[in-house]
Amino acid sequence: MTLSDSLSLAYRTVRANKLRTGITVAIIAFGIMALIGIITAIDAMNGSLRDSFSTMGANGFTIAYKERIRFGNDNQTERSEKGKKLKKSNLDKPIQLREAEMFKASFKYPAFVSIALSGPGNNEIHYKSKKTNPNVMIRGGDENYLFVNGFKVATGRNFNRLDVQTGRNVCLLGSDVCTTLFGSGAEQRAVDKMVNIGGIPYRVIGVLKSKGSSALLRADNVIITTYNNVRRLGNTSPSYTIGVMTTDVQLLEGAVNEATLVFRGIRRLTPGDDENFVLEKSDKLAETFISLLGSIQGAAGAIGLITLIGAAIGLMNIMLVAVNERTREVGLIKALGGKKKNIRQQFLFESTIISLLGAFFGIVLGVLVGNLFSMVLHTGFVVPWAWVITGIIICTAVGLLAGLWPAIKASRLNPITALRYE
């Protein structure tokens, strides 16, 4: 009995037991689908995040206020991570407009400085009888806001200094908002139209180019007005944010150090006080998100592996049942000259074929399910080839390990006893 004979016999046996094979294949496929599907979705999210943050540049950073975490009694002093006493007066202080404008005027470094204020996060925008979903973000900025945050004007114009100072009702539409209210390709038609935000009419002065909006950042589902105007809408952030974009990435570290010194002076911090503000580089924020996705990816891998371990146990039990059911068959093969290794090969081939069938269906379904996220995030079709190959290797190992003991048990059957088995 040759190796090809054992393989052929194993294949025919797998085909003959459709119900048993189908159940086992489904269990294995589910584990692989969960693993590959989640990995594919996370790869799509990673791509979307990298694309979104790349537009912000690696030469920028933001200054935001540091919120105080309260535990127990609200004492007059707290301790920093370094063990220093922090005066209560220096903690939990939102950045005021006066401080932000003072920083912008006094920061004499080759960089662009922008002042921003986050408005309400869920808004329904109206234009005549048309309206958006109630999830449009409102942002307030200045004439540098678009550049510092990676936006570009597709049609119309940016804010000018007079728009910012007077706080008049003008706005820029994100591409998704424009499409919803005015239709696809209607950017030019949207300019100078009046839209309604929170019951207040705003003149559209421009439409933004698409940044590739994702489910995570919704960069195109936004309306930008000036920071002096957004305050009128209510539910705004308690603190202003300062964005800085250097003219050269090599100047970033110097700009960070200079900005820290300047803003400490504006916040009237003494040399012994810790900063009551946070300075975050743009690429660090992206790294934080991606690191979080990496943790989710690890959890997904663990879930997939646990499922496959369960599938391996199930496959082994099914193969053991098959040994008992096919005792006479094993006895006949031995009586016709089949050796122990031929019996082992046949049962190992059977378990491996079942396992690889599960891998095939699981990988296909996992890639398709995972790419539903790609469609939502507009990242293109994603195939995690490394994990696909890993999945095939794992399933091959599962098939071999699950079939090993049943194969050994079958090969040890006495042919005379086996032929008498009913």
Provide DSSP, 397-415: HHHHHHHHHHHHHHHTS-H
Cα separation, 223 vs 172, in Å, equals: 6
- Residue 248 has what pLDDT? 81
| pTM attached to this predicted model | 0.59
According to the model, what pLDDT value does residue 56 have?
A: 53
Selected residue with higher pLDDT from 326 and 399: 399
Picking from 283, 116, 134, 250, the residue whose alpha carbon sits closest to that of residue 197 is 134
Q: What is the pLDDT of residues 246-297, one digit of tens each?
A: 888 788 889 999 999 999 999 998 888 888 899 988 766 656 666 776 777 7
**Given this model, what pLDDT does residue 64 score?**
92
pLDDT, averaged across the chain: 82
The 3-class secondary structure across 129-193, one letter per residue, is CEECCCCEEEEEECCCHHHHCCCCEEEECCCCHHHHHHCCCEEEECHHHHHHHHCCCCHHHHCCC
Question: For residue range 351-401, what is the model confidence (pLDDT) as tens digits?
Answer: 889 889 989 999 999 899 888 877 776 667 888 888 889 888 888 888 888
Mean pLDDT of 214-241: 84
